[in-house]
A and B are shown apart, each in its own frame.
Chain A
Amino acid sequence: MPDWANPVARYVLEEGLPGMLHVAVISLIGATVIGVTLGSLLTIHFRPSRMLIRLYIEIFRGLPIIVTVFLVFYGLPPISPALQFSPLNATGIALVLWGSAQVAEATRGAVGSIPYEQHEAASALGFGWIGRHRYVILPQALRRLLPPLVSLLVNIIQNTTLAAVLGGLELLSAASRQNERVAAVPPIGTGQIHALEIFGGLAVLFFVISFPLTRLAAYLERRLV
């Protein structure tokens, strides 16, 4: 590796990677929990709740994610100062809103694919709606949900780069800052442009993380469904 590249790689991995993981963990957990809940509720035949959840899904699937990111970061603080989030957290929340809409849609399909006898059998054993879903339906539906959840993780990882738009420090903004520093005149930088190596390297990093996950999703699809 040439002299200039070592500090660039270190900065991207030591400062950018934790930022990316921070956003990805919030998004994955939040999107899964909210998405599975909304998706299960969507199977209840009660018009008002179904319409509300459908509206939520259609809005956050329809909006470009960057608009949702702006909505959370700039649109919430005027409502209440308590809703002021850091760029990384705001991106995480935006990805929860977007991701939970995807998961809810997938959960509805997965829960719907469980035979109705399972619901009846669980009811006969004395489970209420929550117990029936918690102990009988969702554990079975989760098998079918696993491949789309892995695909969601891949999309979340790619979309963490949106935090760069708000100035949050994740992989893309880390690479971008280093790109500018390297291009600066010595002693700060090298005075040469290395954007192709830096952003190309970043693309390789994302590929190395994402590609195995897409293979895993395809494998799970074959095995579990």
Chain B
Amino acid sequence: MLLATYDLWGFVSENRHELWHGFVNTIKVSAIAIVGSYAIGITLGAARAHRIPVVSQFTAVYVEVIRCTPILVQIFLLFYALPQVGILLSQFTTAWVAVTIWGGAFHSENFRAGFLAVSHRHREAAFALGFRPLAAFFNVELPIGGRIALPSSINTAISVVKNTSLMYVIGYMELTTTAINISNLTLETTEAITLLGIVYLTLVWSLSALIRLLERRLALPEGT
């Protein structure tokens, strides 16, 4: 009975404004979180690779706490528990902060591994050429270590995009929340899930194709 009335195009065209708005919110949160988590990951990953006191230990704890607790619990803590100490975050703020913190932890592991894989001789060569430590980092370590970390870091970025769908639990109107809410009213659940599947798989598969492209383009020259 229900399958006989299946009409994906009808569902999309009747609700195109809401769905488009939801899609834009998904992209907005993903974009902010990807940029933010890369910034956190490169900074803290470098701090760990160089064993900078305090920051390095803080990062180790941060990474373990994020990896060993469910992201849904982290979202609940931000959204439902922080108001108790007077910090009220909007749904949008909770959404991007939660995935940024989560992605930052995974990225700092990616980049720690990447920077550790940079041979010590490259740093010494940079110093011999008169680079100061920060200049050596940006001109030598980041280009080499960053490329090594790139494939695993894009996998983390893909997970960041997928995790924005969890904002359903706080009712933030990204794509998943929007589609499921509409289907709760119109009973077009099958259509809503099909649409979510198509959109997320398109996003995820394009990003994985990007990994393969970048891996070829940014491959380190022989012998590095």
Measuring CB to CB, which residues of chain A are less than 8 angstroms from any residue of chain B? 58-59, 62-67, 70-71, 74-75, 78-79, 154, 158-159, 161-162, 164-165, 172, 176, 179, 193-196, 198-200, 202-203, 206-207, 210-211, 214
Across the interface, do B73 and A199 meet the contact criterion of CB distance under 8 Å?
Answer: yes
Task: Beyond the given A66-B168, A74-B193, A195-B83, please list 18 additional residue pairs across the A-B interface where CB-CB is below 8 A.
Answer: A67-B176, A67-B197, A70-B193, A78-B3, A79-B3, A154-B68, A158-B70, A159-B70, A164-B169, A176-B76, A195-B81, A200-B77, A200-B81, A203-B65, A207-B64, A207-B65, A207-B68, A214-B64
Instruction: Establish whether residues A64 and B81, one from each chain, have CB atoms under 8 Å apart when the complex forms.
Output: no
A113–B118 CA distance with the chains assembled, in angstroms = 27
Specify the chain A residue showing the minimal Cβ separation from B67. A214
Q: Which residues of A contact B72 (CB under 8 A)?
A: 161-162, 164, 172
Taking the closest CB of chain B, its distance from the CB of A15, in whole angstroms, is 17
B200 within 8 A of A: yes
15 contacts between A and B (CB under 8 A): A58-B201, A59-B197, A62-B200, A62-B201, A65-B162, A67-B176, A67-B196, A67-B197, A67-B200, A78-B189, A195-B83, A200-B77, A203-B65, A210-B67, A210-B69
Cα–Cα distance between A105 and B188 once the two chains are bound (Å):
34
Which residue of chain A is the closest to B161 with respect to CB atoms?
A64
Q: Nearest Cβ in chain B — how far from A2, in angstroms?
A: 14
Give the residues from 155 to 206 in chain B that come closer than 8 angstroms, CB to CB, to chain A.
162-163, 165-166, 168-169, 176, 180, 183, 189-190, 193, 196-197, 200-201, 204-205
Contact B201 A199 (CB under 8 A): no
Contact A78 B176, beta carbon cutoff 8 Å: no
Which A residues lie within 8 Å of B2 (CB)?
78
* A interface secondary structure, majority: helix
Residues of B within 8 A of A196 (CB): 77, 81-82, 84-85
A6 shortest CB reach to chain B, Å? 20
Contact B165 A64 (CB under 8 A): yes
B80 at the interface (CB under 8 A from A): yes
Q: Chain B, interface size: which category?
A: 35 or more
Residue of A nearest to B199 (CB): A67
* Chain A nearest Cβ from B19, distance in angstroms: 15
Residues of B within 8 A of A62 (CB): 200-201, 204-205, 208
A158–B85 CB distance below 8 A:
no
> Smallest CB–CB gap between A170 and chain B, Å?
10
- What sequence of 0s and 1s flags, for each residue 56-99 of chain B, a beta carbon within 8 Å of any chain A beta carbon? 00000000110111111110110011111100000000000000
Contacts of A161 in B (CB 8 A): 70, 72-73
Whether the pair A63, B69 counts as a contact (CB closer than 8 A) is no
CA distance A195 to B86 in the complex (A): 12
Identify the closest chain A residue to B64 (Cβ). A211
Cross-interface CB contact of B69 among A74, A78, A158, cutoff 8 Å: A158
- Nearest 5 A/B pairs, CB to CB: A210-B68, A158-B70, A64-B162, A78-B2, A64-B165
Given A67-B165, A165-B169, also A211-B196 (CB < 8 A): no
Nearest B residue to A162, CB-CB: B72
CB-based nearest A residue for B167: A66
Contact check, A199 vs B68: say whether CB atoms are below 8 A apart: no
Known: A64-B165, A179-B80. A75 touches B190 (CB 8 A): yes
Residues of A within 8 A of B65 (CB): 203, 207
Of the candidates B2, B189, B200, the one having the most CB atoms from chain A within 10 angstroms of its own CB is B189
Q: Once the chains bind, are B168 and A165 in contact (CB under 8 Å)?
A: yes
Take A165-B169, A195-B83 as given contacts and tell me if A63 and B200 are in contact as well, using a CB distance cutoff of 8 Å: yes
User: Across the interface, which residues of A come within 8 angstroms of B77, CB to CB?
Assistant: 196, 199-200, 203
Task: Judge whether B71 and A67 touch: CB under 8 Å.
Answer: no
Q: Which chain A positions have C-beta within 8 A of B81?
A: 195-196, 198-200
